[in-house]
Structure 1
Amino acid sequence: MSESTLFAQRLKQARTDKKMKQSELSEISGVSIATISAYESADGTKGKNPSLENARSLAKALGISLDWLCGMPDNISEKPATYSELFKFLVYISNSAYTQVYSADRSNEYGELLVGIIEFRDTNIYNFISKWEKIKRLYDQGDIDRELYSLWLEKQYKDYNYEIAKWHEIRDGDLPF
């Protein structure tokens, strides 16, 4: 499979996974609708190869890595080194599967305990999830748009762009519970 074909497939997959129209992606990324269409229609013999600037803009607008969009393997070879990397992965999981973000134990409307709960014992992670729960609820309800939600996430990624504390470095007094 050619690189342009793989780029085309991944671009379209990422866009449709986010339930975005080409026009919406164009508005967010600044790349024209015609150009996005040309990228998505590439089949190795026709189509258009993206400039680095356009590929980066599209990846950012879609919340995906430029490496993945350009054809690098989609497996994770290294564990996240910073809180920012970890939070990006949590957001990726949330966007990839039917999930809800909660900062505490929850039961559903029938009083049943929800399954699949992951407990984080790190104050930074707890604080991020607590804030993320609130902003994501606003986004999911349509009270804020994708651009504001993305800006909020980008700010969090910048604020938390430092090394994850090792479990033995966290003291009980630092825990939120």
Structure 2
Amino acid sequence: MTVVGNRLRYLRELLNLTQEEFAKKLQISSSSLKRYEGSNQSEARELPLDLALKIAVEYGISLDWLTGVSDNMYRNQTPSKLAEIFNSLTEDQKKELFSYAMYLKNKGENMNE
């Protein structure tokens, strides 16, 4: 699998979508998505630029990340974007996110000891 194929599959799994569901959202056939993900090496295809751009815009990811140039997945990793996301969550989701943030904070503090 190529870097692009791996990252495309990672994004799909992060979104908790099957290949069929993700293909439908992208308005492509599931067989095309399978080729872009490189599920079958002999049939693997390069992701067209227009589709890569569509994915980047739709899911807020960086083309640099998608192509393996960068490890920063999201385009807009700013405090204001984080606040916007936080404000769009339900109260239960906010509690879960806060708990996870505390876990990460404590994990980081323990690594520095």
Alignment of 1:61 with 2:61, yes or no, is: no
The gaps in structure 1 that reach 5 residues or longer are 77-84, 91-119, 141-177
Larger helix proportion, structure 1 or 2? 2
Quick check: 1:15–1:25 contact (8 Å CA) kept in 2?
Answer: yes
Partner of 2:90: 137
1:22 equivalent to 2:19? Answer yes
Q: Does 1:70 align with 2:23?
A: no
- Alignment TM-score, normalising by the size of structure 1: 0.41
Q: Structure 2 stretches of 5 or more lacking a match?
A: 94-113
Q: 2: distance between equivalents of 1:44 and 1:37?
A: 10
AA aligned opposite 2:27: G
How many positions carry a matched residue from both structures? 91
Distance 1:27 1:46, change over 3 A: closer
State the Cα deviation string for residues 96-129 of structure 1 (Å, max 9, x = none). xxxxxxxxxxxxxxxxxxxxxxxx7xxxx49x72
> Distance in 2 between the 1:63 and 1:24 partners?
19
Structure 1 vs Structure 2: percent identity of aligned residues?
24
Map of 1:37 onto structure 2: 34
List 4+ stretches of structure 1 deviating above 6 A.
Answer: none
Contact 2:65 2:72 in 1 (8 A): no
Larger-gyration structure (1/2): 1
With structure 2 as the length reference, what TM-score do the two structures score?
0.59
* Equivalent AA in structure 1 for residue 28 of structure 2: V
